[in-house]
Structure 1
Amino acid sequence: MKKFLFLLLFLNVSISFSQENKPETSKEFQDKLNKEYADAKESPLMKEDLADFKGLDFFPIDAAYIVSAKFVKSKNEKVFQMKTSTSRLPEYKKYGELHFTLNGKELKLNVYQNMDLIQREGYEDYLFLPFSDLTNGKESYIGGRYIDMRIQKGKTWTIDFNKAYNPYCAYNHKYSCPKVPLENDLPIEVKAGVKKFHD
Structure 2
Amino acid sequence: MRYWFVLLMGLLTTASVAQSPFADQLAKHRETYKKDLLATAGGPLTEAGDLSYVQFYAPDSTYRVTATVQRIEKAEPFDMPTYNGNTRPHVAYATLSFMLHGKPQQLTLYRNLNVIRIPEYRDYLFLPFKDATSGTETYGGGRYMDLRTGDIQHGQVTLDFNKAYNPYCAFKDGYPCPIPPKTNTLQIPVKAGEKTFAKDH
TM bucket (normalised to shorter chain) is 0.7 to 0.9
Asked if structure 2 preserves the Cα contact closer than 8 Å seen for 1:82 and 1:91, the reply is: yes
- Deviation digits for residues 90-139 of structure 1 (CA, Å, limit 9, x no counterpart): 11000001100002110000000011111111111100000100011111
In structure 1, the partner of 2:79 is 81
CA distance, structure 2, for counterparts of residue 116 and residue 42 of structure 1: 18
Output the amino acid matched with 1:147: M
Amino acid at match of 1:158: T
1:141 and 1:170 in contact (8 A); partners too: yes
Pair 174,87 (structure 1): closer, same or farther in 2 beyond 3 Å: closer
Gaps of 5+ in 1: 1-23
Quick one: which of 132, 137, 143 aligns to 1:139?
137
Superposition misfits of 4+ residues, deviation over 6 angstroms: none
Q: Post-superposition shift, 1:37?
A: 2.6
Shift of 1:34: 1.6
Aligned residues: 174
CA distance in 1, matches of 2:40, 2:158: 32
Given that residues 26 and 160 in structure 1 are in contact (C-alpha distance below 8 angstroms), is that contact kept between their aligned partners in structure 2?
Answer: no
Matches within 5 A, 1:13-52: 25-39=25-39, 41=41, 43-45=43-45, 47=46, 50-52=48-50
- Is 1:176 the equivalent of 2:176? yes
CA distance in 1, matches of 2:35, 2:187: 32
TM-score scaled by length of structure 2: 0.81
> Separation in 2 of the partners of 1:121 and 1:38?
24
- Matched residue, 1:149: 147
User: Is there any run of 5+ residues in structure 2 with no aligned partner, and where?
Assistant: 1-23
State whether residues 54 and 198 of structure 2, in contact with CA within 8 Å, keep that contact through their aligned partners in structure 1.
Answer: no
* Percentage identity across paired residues of the two chains: 38
Q: Give the residue type in structure 2 aligned to 1:173.
A: D
> What are the equivalent positions in structure 2 for 1:94-133 lying under 5 Å apart?
94-133=92-131
Match of 1:122, SS? helix
Q: Say if 1:130 and 1:184, in contact at 8 Å, map to a contact too.
A: yes
Structure-1 residue corresponding to 2:59? 61
For 1:58 and 1:127, the matched residues in 2 are separated by 23
Q: Indicate conservation of the 8 Å contact 1:40/1:50, yes or no.
A: no
Report the secondary structure of 1:149's partner residue: strand
Bigger Rg, which one? 2
The one-letter amino acid of 1:181's match is: P
Secondary structure of the residue that 1:27 maps to in structure 2?
A: helix
CA displacement at 1:55 relative to structure 2: 5.5
Equivalent residues of 2:34, 2:51 under 8 A apart: no
CA distance in 2, matches of 1:145, 1:158: 17
